[in-house]
Structure 1
Amino acid sequence: MIKTAMFTTAILLATATFASAGSLGRPCTSAPQSQWLSLDAIQAKVESLGYRVQKAKLKAACGELYTIDKNGSRVELFVDPTTAAIVGQL
């Protein structure tokens, strides 16, 4: 019973850490907004990688895209708004 509780706690902590890493907890870029791509351009670049974008927004100097991947799974992507490079995901 104790081992199960410890294992569950470890999984929850790992998941929380991954979520924090994925959502970055920090900006994706320090470049000025004048150097950012448009939201449409970011979306197009992500779609060219095989994702189907359902919703996209810019938040805290990071593009947040809610997508469906090639396998049909939902994936939240965090992208650098200057390059549309994926820098994290959930």
Structure 2
Amino acid sequence: MPANARVTLCYGPYESSGVVKHRTIRLQGLQAALRASGHQCVLEETREWNMVELVVSEEIIFICNIKELEFGGDGKLDPVCKEAVTAVENAY
């Protein structure tokens, strides 16, 4: 995959403190890790609860539960972020 891939992060709402809504705080580390690898990130809300999907060239290449991602940060210490970046790098 070229270093400047366009990655769409499709994310759903999740519950926190009794409120269900779309939040991007858990996506910050993932976005930072992808940008550090030279990729462009586009956020897209979905209706699927707790879901994060990474889409490259209209193909879903990575899926995880949004609650598995760490809050904020740069994604360097988050193993799920590392796995996601590897999936993008290996996408065709």
TM-score range, shorter chain: 0.3 to 0.5
Query: Could you state the TM-score of these two structures normalised by the residue count of structure 1?
Result: 0.34
Which has the larger helix fraction? 1
Query: Could you state the TM-score of these two structures normalised by the residue count of structure 2?
Result: 0.33
Which has the larger strand fraction? 2
- Structure with more relative contact order (C-alpha pairs < 8 Å, separation 6 or more): 2
Larger radius of gyration: 1
